[in-house]
A and B are shown apart, each in its own frame.
Chain A
Amino acid sequence: MDALPREAHSYAMELRQVGRAVDRPLISVVDDDESVRESLPDLLGEFGFAARTFSSPEEFLASDCVDRTRCLILDVAMPGMSGPELQRELKLRRREIPIVFITAQREETVRPQVLEQGAIECLFKPFSDTALLDALNAALRVH
């Protein structure tokens, strides 16, 4: 089926991602769910964004992406530091990165809370690709 061997394909994908990263806006994804970390970067790539994934807020904060991230797609509930806590932490560090929250919990209390704290959007999983794109565009327009 593949024109290229699997290794070559992967390499090409990587190159494309890196190459785009030079000029494309960087979207960072922080979610402890692996399926999210696996699926979102491809979609973001299709949108024309560069994407980096992190399994925890701590990992994100420790990375070199904090200053380069144009928008943060952030899960709400995670072991250790939670999404809203990372939001607070970034505010304390004066890193005003636009945040789009994604959550699997349909709790109506979380959404107004994070929006009040300045989040661009709070999407409930599963969300449509267009809803995500709208949210990202809104985020990038702000800044």
Chain B
Amino acid sequence: MGLFGKTSFASIIHRIFGKKHAKIGIYGPPNVGKTTLANRILRDWTGEIMGSVSEIPHETRTAKWKKDVKIENGRSSLFMDIVDTPGISTKVDYKEFMNTYGLDKDESKQRAKEATEGVIESIRWLEGIDGVLLVMDSTQDPFTQVNITILGNLEARNLPVLIAANKIDMEKSSPATLKSAFPQHPVIPISALTGYNSENLYSTMVNQFSRKRKKRGR
């Protein structure tokens, strides 16, 4: 047993310098599994769920949040306010909801209108959060402008980012592509649907989001 008994030196440093509470935004383009992941996190740590999921893009059109979710990684823990944000996109076409997903015209137009408002709400939430869990679809090309824009914005704000390479349960998934695309950030391959590798995600969330950041102005 060392000088500090069973408590590791790292955990003492963390207690002194680390954060105890952080507001974490779950961000990403539509249909990458943000709400599925939010549901997974809440189900594992609170027994609740955040919201409904759908194969139709823009299912989440207003931000939803759950306060004081305690996540532990064995050595330390962090209370998080988890914010599930609407998907960010540069276009919203109601005809896509009609032609691809079979919604009727009125329903499609209403969904499109709410989706545009949701994108604006997501961007505005960036002002008040402490860190971002950026969800990407590991079956898709990671170099989309939305991914680049969100990451660039978070880096400019000096916010801690953790990339969840989701949908690794799918055959076409390639989390290695995401890792090589964004080597400056931790990338955790997961399946929000099955829960595969979620323990690794939680452990990294506690480490990544406990760090205090230096404020940087715009």
Q: Do A and B come from one complex?
A: no
**Interface set of B (CB-CB < 8 Å, partner A):** none
